[in-house]
Amino acid sequence: MSGKEIVRKRIIVYPSELVYLLYNAFKNIPSFKIKPVRTVFLRQVYFCGIETFGKMVFIGLFAGIVIITQITNLTGLGSGVLTGKILIWVIVRELGPLFAAIIIIARSGTAISAELSAMNVNREIENIEMMGIDAEKYLIMPRVFALSLSAVMLTFYFEFAALFGGITATSVFWDIPFEQYTTGMLSSLTITELIASLVKSILFGFGIASVSCVNGLAVSESITQIPQAITRATIHSLLIIFILDVIITVVFFI
């Protein structure tokens, strides 16, 4: 088989692997009643979401200040209502889910792919299955849903912190009435905006988790393949979230 045929075969197989992994994750949802599975899930939520809370709020505060500064320079100091609207469009519609997804990829997606790669190379997954434990229920499914839940949590943290930081900065430094921003934000913060942000964060979480797991499980021969798997998982996760972002934006707002 030529090199081009191998690449073409991999391109065809890779999406099917992602779909198959997600299908099995949803199929194994009843396994949550098993205590060890719940324990793995809760540990992943703690690692992916709760431990990242402080960093996400910190990033959101400063991102909100930077964004509101640029918007104010564009619209002028007397356009508080318009600035509030743009703030919602930029942060809730786009940057919130994207920033949360990028942080998850950098911190949690790489960790999952590295962990599963090392377990596969050391034959730990094989040993787990030899003991009669379903690796898909114990290792994959909890990570997929934990990462998706964490994406929703971190998106909410970022959006709240960014909006708070932006409004506070303009109220303190430019003395723009808070009521102007409130009027603009409330007029733009529609159900559609909230649903779009929620859908993005959920699908981004599923996409990152599936890509990280598939690339981690693909390593089985040598420990030197682990860094390559992490790199692939990172690049492919970024590609997935931007593709999903375009699709969801088109569906909701065009």
Q: What is the pLDDT of residue 7?
A: 33
Cα separation, 73 vs 218, in Å, equals 49
Residue numbers in the chain where pLDDT is lower than 70: 1-14, 75-80, 174-181, 184
Q: Is the pTM of this model over 0.75?
A: yes
The one-letter code for the residue type at 2 is S
CB 60 within 8 A of CB 158: yes
- Are the beta carbons of 152 and 205 closer than 8 angstroms? yes
pLDDT at 201: 93
pLDDT of residue 124: 82
Helix axis angle, 226-253 to 191-217, nearest 10° = 160
pLDDT of residue 150: 93
Q: What is the model's pLDDT at position 239?
A: 92
pLDDT at 247: 93
**SS3 call for 163:** helix
Distance CA 127, CA 120 (A): 10
Q: State residue 175's pLDDT score.
A: 66
Condensed to tens digits (0 to 9), the pLDDT of residues 195-234 reads: 989 999 999 999 999 999 888 888 877 788 888 888 989 9
Rounded Cα gap, residues 165 and 59, in angstroms: 10
